[in-house]
Amino acid sequence: MIPRSIYILLVIAALRAQTEPVKDIHRNDPRVWALTHAMVHTEPGDSIKDGTVIIRDGQIEKVGRYIQIPLDAYEIDMEGAHLYAGFIDGWLQIKKDEKVKSPDDHWNEKIRAEYRAKDDLKLKEKELKALHSIGITAAHVVPEQGIFKGKSDLVILNDDMVSVAKGVSQVLEFKTTGWSDRGYPNSLLGVIAVMRQTFLDAEWYLRSLEIFEKYPEENEPLPLNPSLSELGRYHANRLPILFMTKEEHSALRSLKIAGEFNLNPWLLGSGYEYRRLKEIAEFNPFIIFPLDFPNKPKVNDPHIALQFSNEQLKHWDMAPDNIKKVFDADLRFSFTSGTLKNKKDFRKNLQKITDRGLSQDIALAALTTYPAEAMGVNKTVGKIQPGYIANLVVTDGNYFDSRSRVTSIWLAGKEKYISERHKPIIAGKWELEIDGNAYDMEFFVPNTYTKTEELRQKALTTNKLEGKIKIGDETLNLIDVRISNKVIEFKVKGTLLDLDAMLAFKGEVKKDKFRGEVYDGSKKGLSFNAKRTVSIKPIVREKEIASSTVLYQPEGAYGLDKDLLSPNAILIDNANIWTCGPKGIVEEWDILFVNGKVDKIAPDISVPMGSALVIDGLGKYVTPGLIDCHSHSAASSINEGAQAVTAEVRIRDVLFADDVNIYRQLGGGLTTANVLHGSANPIGGQNAVIKLRWGSGPEGLIYKNAPQGIKFALGENVTQANWAGTGRYPQTRMGVEQVIRDAFRAAQDYRHRHKTYERNSKAQRKTIPPRKDLELEALAEILEGTRLLHCHSYRQDEIWMLTRIAEDFGFTIATFQHVLEGYKVAERLAEHGAGASTFSDWWQYKYEVIDAIPYNGTIMANNDVLVSFNSDDAELARRMNTEAMKAVKYGNLSEEEALHFVTINPAKQLKIDKWVGSLEEGKDADFVIWDGPPLSIYSKVQETWIEGTRYWSIDENAQLEERDKTERKDLIQKILSSKTSSYGKEMKPNGQTPQHHHNCLIDDDDLMGM
């Protein structure tokens, strides 16, 4: 896709010269050149040996082998040189953004789509030189601040910094600033919501402008918002929207947004694309890859090695293959040196990827034609062809052999010196001829430099040599051999010429010959010649090979390396089945699952031989998969707390399918979880009900049958009572009540506004439409009964209060969460019809839970409240069965009824009981096989199935443990014995998984449930 509407400025320095007054006297350097006898790589896959390039006024006029050199062109002999089209660096981020503030700015200073990065482009001489020295002649200049950062330009890195493409892309970042930032948004949740709302706003703004311009008298003036109008232009014209990604997860998130708004997505690559390549490739994004690979993890100390996760060790091994895999997936990309501190590492890493299988032509394309095409300048940049801007890279060898040197670059027709060519290698055998006599002469690397290959190589290329001459049987050493540039000097004892003197040789090297004069203090003018007889072979570099490590889903320990067991039919024979349905508990019955559903539960079921997987259930117990009505597992972001009302944020945007807690909780029999926003604000974000489908992507976790919901919160967390707080309104329970009432009133007004507009066709034509507001949409859905409200609460007063608000607005609360004083107002809960999702036995941690009692669940259940127990904690979530048992211990509930607290009751609370929560014919085949009574701490999960697929088994778990142990050992061994190095960032060790105890702590970014 070439965005046609990008300005293409074929404006070369000359234009500026036309407008700028002369400071002293006119300078008019000649601007016509003929570069001859070079290896001209005109474009990827095409080159001309002994070619000529004619440059005139900054542009390429002619290219070819046998072309006539114009009379006015000055010829430069480029014998031995390679010429490439100037390289493009895909990502040059400006350092200091000095955007001028304006009253027209978007209200949110993180949205600055009108800003143009090039305005603040300042490069130090050193930085510029570093880029030039690796052949970069143009760079994609991108902005730095905010979420909607602004616009990028493709800029020629010459003195005038000419933009060849203006406004190439809008750059977006998932920039999270954490709790210290009071500006909304400060979390990933909020950032994504802001992106979504802002694209909507931009659409709306463009439409409104149009209407306003037509009917100015019918409308209130529309405030200027350059940010929205710029973004609207990009969106409407499908100009590139460039998302910065940190790992594969943010790539998927970017592309999801791109899909929603039909954007033309670009990515700043992370190097992790290979992990979710299939999903990424579907959207065909153009990717800018930092050529940056992880350093070797420090594993020589076994204890430090523990700090690295398996997926990190694997990433070290696999990262340099990423780009090749992305190419094989048919995506196009560009490279950047942007993240490299030492720009010289760029070429080393480039060589690494070509060694590992990416062809040099593709690598060259990624440096030239791919980005040129993506940026819509493929007619002027990226090739050595007539009409193209004369940006060139001159090297003394193949650029993709990192030992070659960039000797100069041409920027819009002006050459800039970079470095000397490699010196000719003198080492080897020569024939020396003096006065018609021939002698064998040899130059070689002295012993002091032969210790390592590297030293030897260095001595060879810099000509740090010793030499000797043979005369018959006698060998004379050359004394004081000195080779600098093209001059070679040495001394030999006069015996060579039968003289009693010291002979001084001095000559000039030209290719495989050198000639000069011998001087002994008296005799003058004795000349010599030497020609090479045997040249030394260059050392063959050991090439890296592509990794053979197997990728798992998700990558890392316990990831899947094969398909899960998923038979059409499963029959469990003679098991104790706790159905949690009308059949209650049946002993030694059979249960048949077909096509992911419960087919039959009966005393005896027979199926034709081989038509079902038969599991012997004798002595085993089968229950429905357990359901956790309050979880924060499998999410990358929990709270957007910068505002009191954030109904627009959605947990489903930040689901994290790689969370190992999914796997661990499957091992505890959990199959469904209600992943909630935290409790940082009265009206939090939208929840996601997931099934624990380990191995799927984030979208695959979502349980599509579950109705949408939202999290509210009351009490100390939202009034910020237990920490310094940010002073955000509300700071009291009185204020909390008002915030909630106010939000619902606003939602009513909002719906009213939209409905009136929709009914009025004249208004639709002439007046600015009401804006779609995702926050109010979600709130209105609550009022309409299509969005379930789950509310974090503790004290009876606040519980009572919210039921009254709900009744005033005519809807029912789905669940109160925690609801530790629910037992005090059970009759109210029952009357209102709210479910109660509580803790088994937690209390004491803060003032509002001082009256928490472990009998809470039982008392509420005995008062006709629908009760569930939840975890709110990654560890508790894998032992929901023993949590349920606490209702037996403290409330004397039957074990069967207690099991309902973690199966059918939460299913009912989440309005998914039609499909899950009990074993009944027609419901999902979500079940757990236990080796003993399900609530007993002494029973262990044997297998956990979701919709007829086995996601966890105790045997498989043992195998995975063993597999990962072995893999870990092998990888560490590979790292220890690896001789190559990578150039780039060090990985932050992430071996330790966070230990969330009851998700209640205020840590750096999250204030969660409790």
Interface positions, 830-859, toward other proteins (CB under 8 A): 841-847, 850-855, 859
Strand ranges for 229-297 from DSSP E: 240-244, 264-268, 286-290
Using the rule CB under 8 A, which residue among 461, 731, 812, 936 binds other proteins? 936
CA 563 to chain centre: 26
Strand order in the sheet with 526-535: 474-477, 466-471, 437-444, 428-434, 526-535, 513-519, 502-510, 487-493, 479-484
- Residues 695, 564 contacting (CB under 8 angstroms): yes
Using the rule CB under 8 A, which residue among 393, 592, 801, 935 binds other proteins? 935
* Between 222 and 888, CB nearer to other proteins: 888
Ranges within 61-100 binding other proteins (CB under 8 A): none
Ranges within 974-993 binding other proteins (CB under 8 A): 985-989, 991-993
Other beta carbons within 10 Å of 104: 11
| Distance from C-alpha of 953 to C-alpha of 949, rounded to nearest angstrom | 11
Task: Record the tokens describing residue 694, joined without a space.
Answer: 């380990």
Ranges within 956-975 binding other proteins (CB under 8 A): 957, 961, 964-965, 968
| Contact call for residue 262 and other proteins (CB under 8 A) | no
CB of 712 to other proteins, least distance (A): 21
Residue 199's contacts (CB-CB under 8 Å, 6 or more residues apart) are: 231, 235, 257, 261, 263
* Between 159 and 1003, CB nearer to other proteins: 1003
CB of 967 to other proteins, least distance (A): 9
CB of 989 to other proteins, least distance (A): 8
Ranges within 854-913 binding other proteins (CB under 8 A): 854-855, 859, 862-863, 874-875, 878-879, 882, 885-886, 888-889
Q: Which stretch binds other proteins (CB under 8 A): 470-478, 604-612, 824-832, 913-921?
A: 824-832
Q: Which stretch binds other proteins (CB under 8 A): 30-38, 170-178, 182-190, 662-670?
A: 662-670
Q: Which amino acid is at 125?
A: E
- Residues 625, 928 contacting (CB under 8 angstroms): yes
Using the rule CB under 8 A, which residue among 227, 310, 674, 953 binds other proteins? 310
| Contact call for residue 799 and other proteins (CB under 8 A) | no
CA 938 to chain centre: 43
Residue 711's contacts (CB-CB under 8 Å, 6 or more residues apart) are: 676, 677, 678, 679, 684, 685, 686, 687, 790, 791, 792, 817
CB of 674 to other proteins, least distance (A): 20
* Between 449 and 839, CB nearer to other proteins: 839
How many residues in total does the chain contain? 1010
> How many amino acids of this chain bind other proteins (CB under 8 A)?
71
Residue 186: closest CA among 727, 642, 684: 642
Ranges within 543-582 binding other proteins (CB under 8 A): 556-558
| Contact call for residue 303 and other proteins (CB under 8 A) | yes
Ranges within 704-763 binding other proteins (CB under 8 A): 716, 722
* Between 456 and 846, CB nearer to other proteins: 846
| Contact call for residue 298 and other proteins (CB under 8 A) | yes
Per the listing, tokens 């290719």 go with 511
- Residues 188, 194 contacting (CB under 8 angstroms): no
| Distance from C-alpha of 270 to C-alpha of 174, rounded to nearest angstrom | 13
Q: Which stretch binds other proteins (CB under 8 A): 11-19, 303-311, 504-512, 588-596?
A: 303-311
| Distance from C-alpha of 825 to C-alpha of 472, rounded to nearest angstrom | 114
CB of 294 to other proteins, least distance (A): 11
DSSP letter (8 states) at residue 180: T
CB of 142 to other proteins, least distance (A): 21
Q: Which stretch binds other proteins (CB under 8 A): 324-332, 356-364, 575-583, 935-943?
A: 935-943
| Distance from C-alpha of 308 to C-alpha of 319, rounded to nearest angstrom | 16
> 346-385 mask for other proteins (x: CB under 8 A)?
----------------------------------------
CB of 374 to other proteins, least distance (A): 30
Class of residue 782 by CB neighbours under 10 A (exposed 0-12, middle 13-18, buried 19+): buried
CB of 897 to other proteins, least distance (A): 14
Other beta carbons within 10 Å of 599: 19
* Between 187 and 309, CB nearer to other proteins: 309
* Between 212 and 855, CB nearer to other proteins: 855
CB of 825 to other proteins, least distance (A): 9
> 206-245 mask for other proteins (x: CB under 8 A)?
----------------------------------------
Q: In Å, how far are 75, 403, 490, 742 from 391, measured between CA atoms?
A: 18, 22, 42, 61
- Residues 347, 134 contacting (CB under 8 angstroms): yes
